[in-house]
Amino acid sequence: MTNPDPRSAPTVGSGHVPRPVDTVCYEVHRLSVATGLSYDETVRRFEEAVPTLDETRFAALAAGRPSWDEVRAATAPHATTDFLRYWRGDFGWMLRAAGDEGRCVEYLMGNHVIAERMFRHDPGVLLHAPLRVTIHTDRQGATRFSVDQPSTHFRSYGIRAVTIVGIELDLKLATLLERLGFPVPDALTSGRVPAICV
């Protein structure tokens, strides 16, 4: 289990021998909402609301030694819904070659300014940040938006500050879904997360 107090975590060179394997068992809620729209319209609406990271701007920043304030300033104009798209993958064309008719596109969606508030406590949180999102058809052909509830992942790190950001991400995700006109799961606005199973 992750050390609940990052201040007491051993530093590199402290003589501490890390355990070869840490296994954390915890409960995750996968949220899948019917958008009530066609697949193409759902994709269009989502991509319009959540813009891509300005790679040219950030590549220029990365070439120098930007301050954190410069990174924040470069982010704010684009993250109008608090989220950015870092990656998009559409592998449906490969699977349709096998005769499958379903459609699915996946994204990595997040905000590095928000993620930094967790990263400072445990860099390992980037396993779950950015969030992974899919827009896909179900067995009946309806279009769905699916994502794991953020707080159920971040609660598992056992660090209060990380848990708080996870709950904040729940609320931001709820706001995004509302803006898109999609159903908002109650779990995102309850401010509670399931207990860890350890």
Residue 2: the pLDDT is 47
Is pLDDT of 196 > 50? no
Q: What is the CATH number of the domain that holds 58?
A: 3.30.310.70
Domain residues for the domain of 40 are: 31-189
pLDDT at 13 over 70: no
Mean pLDDT of the chain: 90
Q: What are phi and psi of 115, to 5 degrees?
A: -60, -30
Confidence of residue 198 (pLDDT cuts 50, 70, 90): very low
Residue 60's pLDDT is what? 86
3-state secondary structure of 80: coil
Output the pTM of the full model.
Answer: 0.85
Whether residue 12 is contained in a domain is answered as no
Residue 10 inside a domain? The answer is no
- Residue 87 belongs to some domain of the structure: yes
pLDDT over 80 at 10, yes or no: no
Q: How confident is the model at residue 14 (pLDDT cuts 50, 70, 90)?
A: low
The gap from C-alpha 101 to its chain's centroid, in whole angstroms, comes to 27
Task: State how many domains the chain has.
Answer: 1
According to the model, what pLDDT value does residue 192 have?
Answer: 66
Please state, in angstroms and rounded to a whole number, the distance separating the CA atoms of residues 145 and 140: 15
Residue 185 CA to its chain's centroid (Å)? 16
> Is 23 part of a structural domain of the chain?
no
Instruction: Taking residues 131-152, report their average pLDDT.
Output: 98
CB 36 within 8 A of CB 145: no
Residue 2 falls within a domain, yes or no? no
List the structure tokens of 13. Answer: 């060179």
Quick one: pLDDT at residue 11? 52
Beta bridge partners of 104: 136
Tokens of 31: 């949220």
Whether 107 shows a pLDDT value over 60: the answer reads yes
Q: Spell out the residues 6+ positions from residue 48 whose beta carbon is closer than 8 angstroms to its own.
A: none
Is the pLDDT score of 120 beyond 70? yes
Residue 18 binned pLDDT confidence (cut-offs 50, 70, 90): confident
More confident residue, 92 or 42: 42
Residue 160 CA, chain-centre distance (Å), reads 18
Question: Does residue 102 lie within any of the structural domains?
Answer: yes
Residue positions counted in the chain: 198
Which tokens hold the place of 72? 């924040």
In a domain, 15, yes or no: no
